[in-house]
Structure 1
Amino acid sequence: MLKAIDISSLQIHPDMDGVNVVLIKASEGRTYANPRRYAQEKAARDGGRQVGWYHFLWPGNIQAQAEWFVRCADPQPGDVLACDWETTTSRTAATCAEKDAFLAAVKKLRPRLRIILYCNLDFWKRHDTTSQCGDGLWIADPGAVAGKPRVKHPWVIHQYGIRGGQDVDVCNFASVQAWKDWAGVPKTPTPYVPPAFPPGLAPGKSKPSAKPLQRALRAAGFLQISDANLSDHYGTLTQAGVGRFFDAHPQFRSKNRQHDVAIGPKGWAFLFTVAYGRK
């Protein structure tokens, strides 16, 4: 399981050591915004941690609260959003129907992001009547062992206690990558690595590597050749294709050779990148 913390403006310098996920209070009601949220977000992202945002839900004005939340959080692709459903400082609480409506409203505003429900055992077992928790349940059960909350419903986060003045949680994922896959964090493209330049490749010679060269020239638009005519011979057709490649990218032509048709390691690498490495 992954380690997480959830923080608000009360945590001026939150301890993120060893933490995989940081859940930040963004807003409350229709007017309050955590003044430290962007500094906390930067600290989390700079440390390579996954980010989530939560909104403390009040009764009434559900659509306005949802719009205020996404504006204050300014979530990035792959961030997780959460509805914090509990008793307010006025000893009131949103109804179960209002909680459900807020989850739906946020999902409509940010359909590509995960929206989950945070609540304690009392709210989940005594106030909830629909078991609606969006994309996952974040359960507060500080009386239970970390990772073993006393609920039957599947859960994604368990808030199990307080350490050093901040709430501590575990996320029900085997790895950070599993969290990223669930949250929809955009994948970083794998950089294209061209094949190594084959020794002995030269005009007029026959080498098996001539066929990959011909295919790359064809894919990059410098050579028209059918599969049936692919050859191990670096002949005139291939040389003409290399010449057209050099015309388009003269920086790879040998110095003082206007009619160069011998591709070298740098030209080879660039050609293959043009042919296969650019999306």
Structure 2
Amino acid sequence: MGIYGQDWASYQPAQPNTAGLSFAFVKITEGMTYTNPEWQSQRDTARAAGLVVGYYHYPDMTHAPETEADHFLSLAQPPPGEMLCLDWEGYDATNSAVPHATQLAYKEAFLRHLKAAAPHQPVGLYCNLDYWQNIDTTGFFQDFLWIATSGLPAGQPGISAGWLFHQYSSNGVDQDYCHLGSTAELRSWALGFQPTQTPTPQPTGPAWPGEYLSVRTPMLHDGNVQTWQQRMRDRGWAITVDGWYGPDSASICRQFQQDSTAHGWPLAVDGVVGPDTWRATWQRPVS
């Protein structure tokens, strides 16, 4: 069980080989001044192959984390189902000189700010074992942890935290493992951060009054007619709300019945407001 992926930076080609992969993380930014020149082509290659796509940012922890998070997000602009990640490590001279407490504070602030700015995307943390064990003290990784323990078997990173991704090799190109069972399962998880679409409730309306509204002699005039006319007017029909059911009301009724039938609400086109037409008057969505 489990699926495999890679993470790409400018060291990799613009169109990496995607055979056997389910996901790919693409480096976009480093600090405030560097952008991976291949990232868009790498992203498009991953998308075209049906991979689940993630993006990561390598920090300059002498900067404000909020500023770097905003810069990263402004370029990534991920659609639903794509991931965002902080590559939290400091192997360069600038970051290695930053106190550990400052590095930890940067991580916490970056992740929280990025999540607030992109609440419907999975936001996670990448770090190596040294950072996880010796610099981190909170265990906070926002939505997912991507842990690097190269040299250990895929899926056996040697930590007890609830990781989702494991970078198990960096030979040539970084190789990654996800413990979910399929590409579809990972995509479903990533899409699960989108807000639930709640259908707009349609008004049920008053119960049919038991009276067929139709043209007759003498002309029908009562409150039921007026109630129906008002609802039709609310739906956008140019009808006079006077309580009289005459030829004009019958004509509009027939037009409504024809339109309803054409839109999947089959009604008898007879100009008579019976129980089915009455119900459709309130319950059929306004188009």
- Structures share fold, TM-score greater than 0.5: yes
Q: Does 1:103 align with 2:104?
A: no
Give the 3-state SS of the residue equivalent to 2:25 in structure 1. Answer: strand
The TM-score normalised by the length of structure 1 is: 0.67
1:142 is aligned to 2:150: yes
What is the rounded CA distance, in whole Å, between the counterparts of 1:248 and 1:85 in structure 2?
A: 59
Structure 1 residues 123-154: Cα deviation after superposition (integer angstroms, max 9, x where no partner): 10011111111111100001210001011111
Residue 176 of structure 2 aligns with which residue? 169
Structure 2 contact 60–94 (Cα < 8 Å) conserved: no
Cα distance in 2 between the residues matched to 1:54 and 1:161: 18
One-letter identity of the residue aligned with 2:162: P
What pairs up with 1:81-120 in 2 under 5 angstroms? 81-90=84-93, 92-93=95-96, 95-120=103-128
Which of 1 and 2 has greater Rg? 2
Where 2:155 maps in the other structure, the secondary structure is coil
Aligned-residue offset at 1:74: 1.8
How far off is 1:31 after superposition? 1.5
Inter-CA distance 18–245: structure 2 relative to 1 (3 Å threshold)? farther
How many residues are aligned here? Answer: 220
**One-letter identity of the residue aligned with 1:171:** C
The alignment status of 1:154 with 2:156, answered yes or no, reads: no
Name stretches of at least 5 consecutive residues in structure 1 with no aligned partner: 190-218, 220-224, 229-242, 252-259, 262-274
Unaligned runs of 5+ in 2: 211-253, 263-268, 271-283
Task: Describe how 1:20-31 pairs up with structure 2 within 5 A.
Answer: 20-31=22-33
Aligned Cα RMSD in Å? 3.6
Q: What is the percent sequence identity of the aligned residues?
A: 33
Of 42, 54, 57 in structure 1, the residue corresponding to residue 56 of structure 2 is 54
Partners of 2:261 and 2:131 in 1: CA distance: 70
Q: Partners in 2 of 1:146 and 1:117 — Cα distance? A: 18
Give the SS at the match of 1:54.
strand
Which residue of 31, 36, 41 corresponds with 1:34?
36
- Match for residue 82 of structure 2? 79
2:132 to 100, 124, 144: 124
